[in-house]
């Protein structure tokens, strides 16, 4: 919801509000269990690039926690 508010504020030209919403969003993500899982999933997905080999992807999937496995596998499939 905060992301949507930030986007709407930016679209309306209110950069100050957009930055405030985005900052609050980032703070809350790091403070909650759900947010920490989301950040971990994003980091796992970001670590996969087009240059990642099959072997590297398999190592990442095996090393990932249960919460990270499916998103990591799906990002590798792209």
HEC string of 32-77? CHHHHHHHHHHHHHHCCCCCCCHHHHHHHHHHCCHHHHHHHHHHHH
pTM: 0.54
Please, what's the b/e burial string for 59-75 (b: 16 or more CB within 10 A of its CB; e: otherwise)? ebbeebeeebbebbbeb
Per-domain residue ranges for the chain? 1-31, 35-78
Average pLDDT taken over every residue of the chain: 82
What the block records as the tokens of 38 is 């989301």
- Rounded distance between C-alpha atoms, residue 50 and residue 2, angstroms: 31
Segment 20-40 shows an average pLDDT of 88
- 45 or 28, higher pLDDT: 28
Segment 46-66 shows an average pLDDT of 82
């Amino acid at each position: 919801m905060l992301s949507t508010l930030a986007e709407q504020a930016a679209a309306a030209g209110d950069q100050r509000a957009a930055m405030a919403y985005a900052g609050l969003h980032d703070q809350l993500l790091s403070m909650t269990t759900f947010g920490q899982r989301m950040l971990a999933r994003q980091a796992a997905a970001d670590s996969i690039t087009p240059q990642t080999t099959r072997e590297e992807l398999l190592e990442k999937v095996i090393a990932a926690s249960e919460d990270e496995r499916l998103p990591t596998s799906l990002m590798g499939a792209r």
